[in-house]
Chains A and B, each alone.
Chain A
């Protein structure tokens, strides 16, 4: 795995308090919400907070959040392109 992948997956696990989840459980193309990890809208907002704190990325509305969090892959891609 690439360094960003390791780091980002660990940050997701920590931000969402996902005790029993390992980075390998977070699949590249699986949806983050609903199915997959079973996350909900409050988790999405806690990820928004993590992205701002750790990567300087601001997401200001739910619609953008939905697109960014479509899957782990879209999130990583977004972080790669927008991190500061």
Chain B
């Protein structure tokens, strides 16, 4: 029996239907809806809509945790789950480096950002602080810091399935022996953006959602957070933790059909359900209850009923949507449903579908109406996000034995080499390997001046922009007209990575895609929010809202290229690319995908510039980024940039032409010294141990290709890590840098991966990565193995090992 199987040892929730698991369960038992009037902010257009607002004082409940409302909600739920599982460190049987945090987030700090943008529009913005908590990674880093986690930690943003994807990812990391314990879940607060956005799609039911009912007319927006402590069974048993349930199966798929609407036939949703059943070795008849996605929109509920029929035939198990209790809590939704599943298994009872009165002929089935005692062994829960990002989880009773047909004990797969088949680039340093080589040889790219929109009093912006990146030739006008700039950048890079298109022999269901993005389509998001605030919520821009979700790039790739496997979007600051790459690597190594597209994309925006200037992140008067250049004096800060890079991957030896190999991708959190910088010795040990675990001789590591950006303290940190690694490996590990060409942005490490490919293929001489940096001795000869090593503010680090 596999002792790496993930079990649940803690649950926590904060929601409109109750703060704390017992209060929430009480609301479900008594059929008490959490919907009510909106008082969190004023909304001229949608203020009359019923919403699932958390009524408790969130600031007070969060104690001394600082951050956005979403961050605080996340911490409130996390604290409950941590307490229940006995995880609060130092705890017996818990190792920080084997403990991770995986969260889903889509709204993140938008509520506070809206206030900053509103003040900017009135030309009276003094408080930029909310922008510090704007990012999806903010809640994850808060929870990881407070928990003391140092293992794999990342944020995913597949809109309304993000919480479920985070839970599935944590389970995958536990099975693959990367983690013993994970805090996993999702959090999102209400915001004007999402309220107006769903309003613009005509998807709000002002009177409260009525899932699966004949008269249903849309969603009610909600907010909240839910967290699970997931743990390898052997770890939970060894430390005597109480097992609440097991996560027995999970599956993910993509509709590849439409940016906001589900595929009406429910093919993708059914595929995710089937995958989850298969993974758990379960038959449809093993499922005793289904916690449906059931948003209450006309399209979702019909689609979901069709998907259930596809999987369960005429024997669809009793099911219920809990959306009228909670509202639609977006990224928290999948995690809230997971907590409901765990409670249902523990209490042997299941909720009723509040809001349902009359059966819809088109749906042709009715949900469970009342809360009832039910002997259930297995509960399935579905989450469907914008872009057709579907994730399904199956939970089983704690004492139910795993199915003998469950995907058995696997050997640890993270060292299995993958082939890089193609690479596509959009960057400030050109879009080809030759262009990048030239830019590196010149010592970097000269940043350009950009016109700042009138809104910003900062005058002109300066940074590393991609200019015309060839979207006109690569994307037909009819397809391009609906796409934001960042989506176009990602799509152009993806097409360049697959010049011949997907091989006809590969089934679309077996191709996965994952894109990292620190900030998503900022241009589209800003256009929607500015229009909303300037016009006082009149004439909202639906198309912009559809493009404002972080997963707009990854799901657009799926639509354009017909990719129906797992579709992931990772949003974790500077390691967004590596977290996305991990998903693709894991799908390939476990045999669920035969091909994968992994990449990252971020765009320049006056907002990042405004915030960065304010806090001294950028220096618009700096001449250019000069990594490791100690001869430059004065206040050295980097300059912002933008770009996209996408790589086509397959298992090594199965496809050609291989241009290089990826033999490992890892991410986690570093041990920080005061000031937030890593301890070099510990970093070197982490790198060496990681290589050894993957079966890569540390002595073969020739070059540490770093995210150094000229900021002296971070450059020194990279330099110290290289020195410590040289001592540990017994040979000189040379340093390299690439941000003098890409500029500083959250997807820059994907550009670094492109450079690493050039290095191991002999198309870029290692000395060029140090051109013009007199204080560093360049490497001699063509490196066999390049370590792409990235440090991120917030305490994250990542490592990719690229070989010839």
Contacts and interface: CB of A to CB of B under 8 A. Distances in A.
A60 B541 contact: no
A48 B217 contact: no
Interface string B234-262: 00000000000000000000000011110
Chain B CB within 10 A, most for which of A20, A42, A62 = A42
A38 interface: yes
B790 interface: no
B482 A61 contact: no
Interface string B169-198: 000000000000000000000000000000
Contacts of B478: 20, 38
Contacts of A53: 535, 538-539
Chain A CB within 10 A, most for which of B217, B260, B477, B539 = B539
A46 B477 CA distance: 18
B543 A42 contact: yes
B481 A49 contact: no
A45 to B, nearest CB: 3
Contacts of B540: 49
A42 to B, nearest CB: 5
A42 B482 contact: yes
A8 B201 CA distance: 22
Contacts of B648: none
A37 to B, nearest CB: 10
A22 interface: no
Contacts of A19: 477, 481
Contacts of B543: 42-43, 45-46
A4 interface: no
A53 B478 CA distance: 24
Interface in B523-553: 535, 538-543, 546
B474 interface: no
A42 B546 contact: yes
B202 interface: yes
Interface in A1-55: 16-20, 38, 40-43, 45-46, 48-50, 52-53
Interface string B536-578: 0011111100100000000000000000000000000000000
Interface in A51-68: 52-53, 60-62, 65
Given A16-B481, A38-B478, A61-B217, A45 B539 contact: no
B539 A52 contact: yes
A45 B258 CA distance: 14
A24 B789 CA distance: 56
Nearest to B541: A49
B200 interface: yes
A50 B539 contact: yes
A49 B546 CA distance: 14
Chain B CB within 10 A, most for which of A20, A45, A48, A65 = A45
A50 B482 CA distance: 15
Nearest to B535: A53
A19 B202 CA distance: 27
Contacts of B259: 42
Contact of A62 (B202, B258, B477, B539): B202
Contacts of B538: 52-53
A17 B481 contact: yes
A4 to B, nearest CB: 19
B198 to A, nearest CB: 11
Contacts of B482: 17, 42-43
Nearest to B206: A60
A20 B477 CA distance: 8
A17 to B, nearest CB: 4
A43 B259 CA distance: 12
B202 A61 contact: yes
B551 to A, nearest CB: 16
Interface residues of A, number: 21
A17 B541 CA distance: 13
A69 B442 CA distance: 56
A37 B478 CA distance: 10
A19 B480 CA distance: 10
A45 B202 contact: yes
Contact of B200 (A17, A18, A20, A49): A49
B36 to A, nearest CB: 22
B535 A45 contact: no
A41 B262 CA distance: 12
A60 B576 CA distance: 38
Contacts of B201: 45
Nearest to B199: A60
B542 A42 contact: yes
Contacts of A52: 538-539
Given A42-B259, A46-B543, A49-B542, A18 B481 contact: yes
Contacts of B202: 45, 48, 60-62, 65
Contacts of B298: 62
Contacts of A45: 200-202, 542-543
B481 A46 contact: no
Interface in B308-362: none
A71 B200 CA distance: 22
A49 B541 CA distance: 6
A63 B543 CA distance: 19
Nearest to A51: B539
Interface in B140-165: none
Contacts of B261: 41
Nearest to A53: B539
A16 B482 CA distance: 8
A22 B581 CA distance: 43
A38 B482 CA distance: 13
A46 B542 contact: yes
A52 B196 CA distance: 14
A43 B546 CA distance: 11
Contacts of A48: 202, 542
B538 to A, nearest CB: 6
A61 B215 CA distance: 13
Interface in B378-398: none
A42 B535 CA distance: 20
A65 B260 CA distance: 17
Interface string B480-494: 011000000000000
A41 B297 CA distance: 14
A56 B230 CA distance: 53
A35 B269 CA distance: 28
A49 B542 CA distance: 8
Contacts of A17: 481-482
Nearest to A41: B261
Return the 10 tightest CB-CB contacts between A and B, nearest first.
Answer: A45-B542, A53-B539, A17-B481, A52-B539, A49-B539, A46-B543, A19-B477, A42-B543, A62-B202, A20-B477
Interface of B: 200-202, 217, 258-261, 298, 477-478, 481-482, 535, 538-543, 546
17 contacts: A16-B481, A17-B482, A18-B481, A19-B481, A41-B258, A41-B261, A42-B260, A42-B482, A45-B200, A45-B201, A45-B202, A48-B542, A49-B542, A50-B539, A52-B538, A60-B202, A61-B202
Given A41-B258, A42-B259, A43-B543, 20 more contacts: A16-B481, A17-B481, A19-B477, A19-B481, A20-B477, A20-B478, A38-B478, A41-B261, A42-B482, A42-B543, A42-B546, A43-B482, A45-B543, A46-B542, A46-B543, A49-B200, A50-B539, A60-B202, A61-B202, A62-B202
